[in-house]
């Protein structure tokens, strides 16, 4: 990935993370649900974090295919919420909404780095 992409991704991750934490309580009150599907700031921040932490060698070699793979892996981990993501989601307000997605990002990136280490 070109260096020019890192700053916008980092800014997107920070911006959407702050919005999620700041407005998490309001979203829970409006939609009467924890981590409501109508709120996507947490997924946006999580996907930006995933792309920021991907191995540059994989992005350089596979390009858009790697980005699509990262998206699928992020969504899988966001849905199944392996430990401790499910437990962390119980944190009140926007932090709980956000942190499970950050853990999903870390799991997706871990799989990418393991793949790089094992097969490339």
Dist CA 42 CA 99 (whole Å): 8
| Total number of residues shown for the chain | 120
Structure tokens at 111: 């799989």
**Helix %, strand %, coil % for the chain, to 5?**
80, 0, 20
| Domain total of the chain | 1
CA–CA gap between residue 109 and residue 74 (Å, rounded): 8
Residue entry with tokens 């921040």: 45
Return the residue matching tokens 């932490």.
53
Distance of CA 44 to the CA centre of its chain: 7
Tens-digit pLDDT profile for the chain (120 aa)?
A: 566 778 999 999 999 999 988 888 887 777 877 766 777 888 999 999 999 988 777 777 778 888 888 999 999 999 998 888 778 877 877 888 889 999 999 999 999 888 777 776
- DSSP category for residue 2: -
The predicted pLDDT at position 101 comes to: 92
Q: Extract the tokens encoding 64.
A: 């858009």
Residue 66 belongs to what domain range? 3-119
- Cα–Cα distance measured from residue 53 to residue 18, given in angstroms and rounded to the nearest whole number: 19
């Amino acid at each position: 990935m070109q260096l020019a992409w890192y700053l916008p991704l980092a800014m997107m991750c920070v911006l959407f993370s702050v919005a999620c934490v700041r407005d998490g309580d309001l979203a829970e009150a409006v939609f009467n649900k924890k981590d409501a599907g109508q709120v996507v700031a947490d997924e946006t921040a999580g996907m930006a974090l995933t792309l920021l932490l991907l191995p540059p060698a994989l992005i350089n070699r596979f390009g858009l295919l790697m980005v699509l793979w990262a998206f699928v892996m992020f969504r899988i981990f966001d849905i199944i919420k392996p430990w401790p993501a499910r437990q962390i989601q119980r944190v009140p307000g926007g932090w709980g909404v956000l942190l499970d997605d950050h853990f999903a990002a870390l799991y997706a990136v871990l799989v990418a780095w393991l793949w790089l280490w094992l097969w490339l």
